[in-house]
Amino acid sequence: MNTMLLIAMAGVVALIFVAVFYWLVSRESPGTPRMQEIASFIREGANAYLRRQFQTISYFIVGLAALLLIVMWPRWQIAFGFVVGALLAQLAIFIGMNAATRANVRTTQAATTSPGKALVLAFRGGGVMGLTIVAFNLLGIALLSVFFGVNPQHPENVSLLVGFGFGASLSALFAQVGGGIYTKAADVGADLVGKIEARIPEDDPRNPGVIADLVGDNVGDVAGRGADLFESGSDNLVATMIVGLAFIPQYGWAAVLFPLISRAIGAIGAVIGVLAVREAKGRSRITSLNIGFFTTAIFSLLAFYALGQWVMRDIRIFYCLSLGLACALGTALIVQYYTGIDQKPVREIAEASQSGPAITLMSGFSWGMESAVLPKIMIALANLAAYYIMGGGIAGFFGIAAATLGITEMKGIIMAGDAFGPIVDNAGGIAEMAGLSQEVTESADVLDAAGNITKAITKGYSMSCALMTSVVILFAYLVEATRLQGIEYTQINDVIINLAHPLNIAAIMIGTTIPFLFTAQTVRAVEKTAFKMIEEIRRQFREIPGLLEGNAKPDYSRCVDISTRNALREMVAPTVFGVIFPIAVGFTLGVWALASYLIGVKIIGATLAMFMFNSGGAWDNAKKYIEAGHLGGKGTETHAASVIGDTFGDPLKDVAGPSLHILIKLQNILAINLLPLFIAYSIKWP
Amino acid sequence: MNTMLLIAMAGVVALIFVAVFYWLVSRESPGTPRMQEIASFIREGANAYLRRQFQTISYFIVGLAALLLIVMWPRWQIAFGFVVGALLAQLAIFIGMNAATRANVRTTQAATTSPGKALVLAFRGGGVMGLTIVAFNLLGIALLSVFFGVNPQHPENVSLLVGFGFGASLSALFAQVGGGIYTKAADVGADLVGKIEARIPEDDPRNPGVIADLVGDNVGDVAGRGADLFESGSDNLVATMIVGLAFIPQYGWAAVLFPLISRAIGAIGAVIGVLAVREAKGRSRITSLNIGFFTTAIFSLLAFYALGQWVMRDIRIFYCLSLGLACALGTALIVQYYTGIDQKPVREIAEASQSGPAITLMSGFSWGMESAVLPKIMIALANLAAYYIMGGGIAGFFGIAAATLGITEMKGIIMAGDAFGPIVDNAGGIAEMAGLSQEVTESADVLDAAGNITKAITKGYSMSCALMTSVVILFAYLVEATRLQGIEYTQINDVIINLAHPLNIAAIMIGTTIPFLFTAQTVRAVEKTAFKMIEEIRRQFREIPGLLEGNAKPDYSRCVDISTRNALREMVAPTVFGVIFPIAVGFTLGVWALASYLIGVKIIGATLAMFMFNSGGAWDNAKKYIEAGHLGGKGTETHAASVIGDTFGDPLKDVAGPSLHILIKLQNILAINLLPLFIAYSIKWP
């Protein structure tokens, strides 16, 4: 118990730095009154949305908590943990988004004096989100463990934590789907009518959708992605602790503590990494960011060595951890190839735009499809390597869990880089809207380009994390399923999910359809909301006299309202579907077929998400490549074709893709939560 | 042996009707000299392409046959069967396409006098392809069986037939990929430059790409799809015969004969169905076609009853066969909902076009994603039902095999309807090019609309067939793998592909990436070829004086040449990749992990293909809906947006999707071929 509290101290340290960075950001000047006014619009819009989103989510939290309490009785801890997980997720994104909506305008202001300072400021603003997530993961689980009596005498109590994971996942899915729909509908609407039809620049104050668009960056990219990483961190911790249970005979109590210690290393690593991003003469933006990432990576590597060698007393665990870290790097490289503006795929897509939008689409579609291949094969082989490094058998699971922790521990710094993206994006928008000098706008644009890279890397990274994590959650499911049924699980074939059995074939076939259904729903939600947004923006341009000439003000709030209302309405169905399916399969096809179903969901979900991220990112950058003056530049038919690709890619890369991450873990952790019910009440097929 | 020859007689009957229909079509008038000239361009282009395609394929046939002979020695029958399968596939599409390129112009001519007669003529032209395929399937396998000594004393010789399946699959993959690239590049190029840029009507003789486009209908839609159905018929027969092997103790020799008898029923059913499509006063086009389909279905149902009751002496087999037949119907209904011009999805996509192409794309993408869900769940449940109807266990496999035969036996008539599509499409094109009266063009258009429905149904149907067949091929793999290793396979858990084992998880993860890689390659091939086609057509419009005014002739042959050369070049890489991957996995991860890999390929491949078919079809029909005068009709921005959706959807629905069908079976049948090598030489992991 003392160890547990000791580990939790790393979370406290991270929280202290959250306060420090928040203060460092807040004390900077927020600029001119006009800038402050715009920033306050954004902040109020974002906060108003988050409040209403929380309201909607809270009905589900209360309802599901009551249900869990009843069906799980007397294991009340499941429901309690569920509520804590769900609330902590919401609190984390609230804190992180608040920092982001303060950092944006201050970054604009800083850019008027020093671009280097602007970078550091924006990164620290993003660091608040990164550190909050890691700290809450760690503190939430460590304190609940103490509270639930998880200790060397009762290691099996660790399975009471699954409610926490489910709460975090459910909360995250709502936040990602809702925030995603919000931001993309606003973005697509503002761009299509503003840039294409009215031919005014991006973020122009005459565009009625511009505030909704800037709010969207915060509620979608900051809050949504934050919730995503919070949930994958939570699920990961809970799952690896449960898997650790199976290894108590081999490593003792350390097997269960191991994930928490890794997370503590991640928390400290993130603090050091954010601190390492500093201003220096003659250092390029991307170099500054890279220094942050590599500082964290090197610190982690050293700490992992110590962890493997002296805590676990098994150097092979260090190898597995490092393998995970290498996968993070590998994913980043692959993503950079497929979406990088100076790479072959993006350039080919841009060239295809010369033959019109249909050819652009084919090109981006095919590069995106291809981009899903290598990362997944890499992870498949890394898992296999980790498995055999530990000698295979059930012990090999521990190796895979360690590799997963290795990749996950970059989370804090990666999330800081990710939140950095929308902050500088917002900063550029504020500069444009406030009519600041071209110098400032350009300096913001340079930051924005760096932000696009960090955002692309985050997506690939989160997908690799999600895929590795989802394998470990599957093991956690198997460990729990055997423990609850009193099956001994010490040999690899003690548990059999036989793919030669038609029951499991049917289950995996059904599982593979779920990501398609979910993608259909989320993309359609964006399409419908964007449709309404387009109608409204067209109406304002048509009906408000003098708007295009700059003599009248648009009605920003109606656009904000359309995004808000529709996002809240449309986020419910996909989430509810995501919850119902595994329950239905569990009761009708049974515990082992459900595992097969879950594998179906995750293997297809991950590939689909990867395709959607990368094709979306590549289309985006092909457009940017043309806008940089290649192939005729802005205003040409080639550019128009590339804009269509980019717009189509938006909901894929920012809504459907990231939501799929969460879905694949949500369904698995939910299944673990309900295992006792499935074991007791499911239909038993021969 | 006598029984075998008796069954083969059904194939002879079908072949006789092939000759009859060919003669009935040929004796009709081919119209005016101008019509004959155009038709001869098309026929020569199509034949020239098919000849060159055959040349390219023959290198691979010879090379692989030699390789198979060496590595499989002394089982020379594998290599021999491989050559026979590959050649029969090519011969079948040659005959079928020849009939189609005769029927097209005669259909145009018939339409000048009687639309009803035109329909019957076109359908009989398509019937040649449908019957040839079924007849060759049956004759090829029955005669090889006799030749290889497959008889009650040596039922295990049935596994010598796997070479035939592999030959058919390889041949088909080349033909579908090559033909698909050819037709879509020509179609996209001709449409984009002709309809959008030069604003001339479809199939206008001034368009340099028009002949290539009309040739493409034949080499892609007739030959490509024919090859596809030939291979799925072959693989299906071989696989179900091998699965039957495992049931000799229960049903005796009839277990192995059963698939052949079903196919004989299918052959006779197809003949009757084609004959039933007749001209009658006041009968609508689609009713005439439906009468053909339902005649076949009812005949099959009755014959299945006789087969179950009196031959197999197990009425449950009749239930399973009927279940398969019901799935064919179910798929057709679902596909009609998602792609039908008067249904909600298509209308919503058309409405979305009002907000521009990006929104059209999102809409079609999401409906397409959704459309993959129901058919797959239906098939999963049908498989499960068939399994439990037979009482589960290993006997359940026989039920699944029977259900698969039930769905497959509609093949002949469905293929006739499918080949009917491009024939009437061509007929309309010839009418347009020959400048026939508007009445004739309109009457051809009505037939074309009916053809679009039969084409859409064929695709959904083939996918359902492919998915069900792929499950049976998997069982055939398991049966062979156990037989060769001397494992007794009488209980369901005698064979275990444990999805809880990281080796199998890695294999299935790798498998799921393959359809993405393959889709990337095929779509990119179309994109690249279309890009060149567009350049060439633009060049001709620019450089040939008086072309647009109709005072000069375009150079059709250069466009035909571009399609031909590029299709032949681009078809090689995806096919070769498709062959290499399962071999690599088999040797490195072993026999059971390869099964897991194959499941990964098929479950994701089928879903992806279904999504691509239906979104492509829905975009196509949304465009047609607008062209019919809705939402402003032709020439509006809304129409332009819908054309972009349609064009993007083309390579998805006509190249990548149908090729995926073949790929998922090819890899599996190839794996069965090489099983002895994998068993002997693969790495053995703990």
CA–CA min distance A520, chain B (Å):
4
Residue A423 · residue A299 · CB < 8 Å: no
Q: What residues in B contact A195, CB-CB < 8 Å?
A: none
Longest dimension (CA), chain B: 77
B344 at interface of A, judged by CB pairs closer than 8 A: no
Instruction: For chain B, say whether A642 makes contact (Cβ under 8 Å).
Output: no
- Would you call A484 an interface residue with chain B, using a CB distance cutoff of 8 Å? no
Nearest CB to B192 within list A355, A520, A652: A355
Could you report the per-residue pLDDT of B252-311, keeping only the tens digit for each?
999 999 999 999 999 999 999 999 988 877 777 778 888 888 999 999 999 999 999 999
Cβ neighbours of A508 in B, within 8 Å: 499, 599, 603
Amino acid A1: pLDDT? 52
Query: pLDDT tens digits, residue range B137-147?
Result: 999 999 999 99
Q: Does B512 touch chain A (CB under 8 A)?
A: yes
Q: Residues A272, A295: contact at Cβ < 8 Å?
A: yes
Alpha-carbon distance of B473 to A70, in angstroms, equals 46
CB B267 within 8 A of CB B285: no
- Domain assignments of chain A as residue spans, ordered by start: 2-681
Backbone angles phi, psi at A391, to 5 degrees: 85, 10
pLDDT digits (tens, 9 = 90+) for A603-638: 999 999 999 999 999 999 999 899 889 999 988 999
Contact B505 A471 (CB under 8 A): yes
Checking if the pLDDT of B317 tops 70, the result is yes
Quote the tokens at residue B551: 């005072």
Does the CB of B552 have a partner CB in chain A at under 8 Å?
A: no
Contact of A634 with A536, CB cutoff 8 Å: no
Q: Which two tokens stand for residue A65?
A: 């908590």
pLDDT value at position B114? 86
Residue B373: list chain A partners with CB under 8 A.
513, 516-517, 520
| Count of other CB atoms within 10 angstroms of residue B122 | 34
Q: Do A498 and B503 touch (CB under 8 A)?
A: no
What lies within 8 Å, CB to CB, of B29 at 6+ separation is B106, B109
For residue B316, is pLDDT > 80? yes
CA B230 from chain centre, in angstroms, equals 8
Give the dihedral sign, CA A384/A386/A392/A395.
Answer: negative
Q: Is the pLDDT of residue B2 over 80?
A: no
The CA distance from B526 to A678, in Å, is 49
Give the per-residue pLDDT at B574: 92
For residues B162-166, give the mean pLDDT.
Answer: 96
Q: pLDDT tens digits for A180-211?
A: 999 999 999 998 888 878 888 888 889 999 99
B377 interfacial to chain A (CB closer than 8 Å):
yes
B503 to chain A, any CB pair closer than 8 A? The answer is yes
- Are B369 and A647 within 8 A, CB to CB? no
Confidence of residue A686 (pLDDT cuts 50, 70, 90): confident
Q: What are the chain A neighbours of B502 within 8 Å (beta carbons)?
A: 383-384, 387, 396-397, 400, 471
Residue among A355, A361, A367 minimizing CB distance to B534: A355
Strand partners, A498: B498
Across the interface, do A373 and B517 touch by the CB < 8 Å criterion?
A: yes
SS3 A247: coil
pLDDT at res. B411: 87
Q: How confident is the model at residue A34 (pLDDT cuts 50, 70, 90)?
A: very high
Over the stretch A363-416, which tens digit does the pLDDT of each residue have? Answer: 999 999 999 999 999 999 999 999 999 998 888 999 999 999 999 888 888 888
Q: Give the nearest partner residue to A600 out of B493, B510, B603, using CB atoms.
A: B603
Smallest CA-to-CA distance from B372 within B600, B661, B606, B649 is with B606
Is B580 in CB contact (< 8 Å) with chain A? no
Contacting B residues, span 103-122, partner chain A, CB-CB under 8 Å = none
Residue to substitute from B495, B510, B527, B601, interface A, most A β-carbons within 10 A: B527
CB contact under 8 A, A603 and B509: yes
Mark which residues 196-215 of A lie under 8 Å from B by CB: 196
CB contact under 8 A, A501 and B493: yes
List of chain A residues whose C-beta atoms are within 8 Å of the C-beta of residue B507: 380
Smallest CA–CA distance from B381 into chain A, residue: A506
Q: Is there a contact between A292 and A276 (Cβ–Cβ < 8 Å)?
A: yes
Q: How far is CA B215 from CA B184, B557, B560, in A?
A: 11, 11, 8
Render pLDDT for B15-26 as a digit per residue (tens, 0 to 9).
999 999 999 999
pLDDT at A443: 84
Decide if A501 touches B, using CB distance below 8 A: yes
* Model pLDDT for residues A286-320, shown as the tens digit of each residue: 788 888 889 999 999 999 999 999 999 999 999 99
Per the omega criterion (within 30 degrees of 0), is the bond before B357 cis? Answer: no
Q: Which residues of B touch A355 (CB under 8 A)?
A: 192, 530-531, 534
CA A386 – CA A152 distance, rounded (Å)? 27
What value does the mean pLDDT take over residues A565-592?
94
Give pLDDT tens digits for B522-533.
Answer: 999 999 999 999
Identify how many contiguous H helices and E strands chain B contains and give both numbers: 23, 0
How many Å lie between the alpha carbon of B304 and the closest alpha carbon of chain A?
24
pLDDT in tens, B457-505: 888 888 888 889 989 999 999 999 999 999 999 888 899 999 999 999 9
For B190-241, what is each residue's pLDDT tens digit?
988 888 788 888 888 899 999 999 999 999 989 998 998 899 889 999 999 9
Per-residue pLDDT at B370: 96
Query: Element (H or E) spanning B183, and its range?
Result: helix B162-189
Q: Can you tell me the ipTM of this complex?
A: 0.94
Interface check A483 vs B, CB under 8 A: no
- What does the pLDDT read at residue A301? 95
Using the beta-carbon criterion (under 8 Å), do A392 and B358 form an inter-chain contact? no
Q: Which residue of B has its CA nearest to A656?
A: B366
Q: Does B317 touch chain A (CB under 8 A)?
A: no
Per residue in A444-487, pLDDT (tens digit) is 888 887 887 788 788 888 888 888 998 999 999 999 999 999 99
Average pLDDT over residues B171-186: 93
**Confidence class of residue B47 from pLDDT cuts 50, 70 and 90?**
very high
Q: Are B127 and B276 in contact (CB under 8 A)?
A: no
Contact yes or no for B498 and A492 at CB 8 A? yes
Q: DSSP string of B465-501?
A: HHHHHHHHHHHHHHHHHHHHHT----SGGGS--BTTS
pTM of the model: 0.95
Note whether B644 contacts A358, CB cutoff 8 Å.
yes
Cβ <8 Å between A512 and B188: no
Instruction: Check the CA dihedral A281-A286-A287-A291 and report its sign.
Output: positive
Q: Give the amino acid at A649.
A: G
Of A397, A502, A508, the CB nearest to B603: A508
- How many other β-carbons are positioned within 10 Å of the β-carbon of residue A9? 14
Shortest Cα distance from A674 to chain B (angstroms)? 20
Q: How far is B368 from chain A (nearest CA, A)?
A: 8
Report the distance separating Cα B606 and Cα B383, nearest Å. Answer: 15
Chain B residues near residue A379 by CB distance under 8 angstroms: 509
Which SS3 state, helix, strand or coil, does residue A117 take?
A: helix
Average pLDDT, chain B: 92
Q: Tokens for B361, please give them.
A: 């794309």
- Over residues A524-561, the pLDDT tens digits come to 999 999 999 999 999 999 999 988 888 888 999 999 99
Q: What is the mean pLDDT of residues B655-684?
A: 94
pLDDT band at B13 (very low <50, low <70, confident <90, very high): very high
Question: Alpha-carbon torsion B131, B86, B606, B529, what sign?
Answer: negative
A-B contacts at Cβ under 8 angstroms = 260
Nearest chain A Cα to B379, which residue? A506
- Comparing CB atoms, the residue among A500, A510, A520 nearest residue B496 is A500
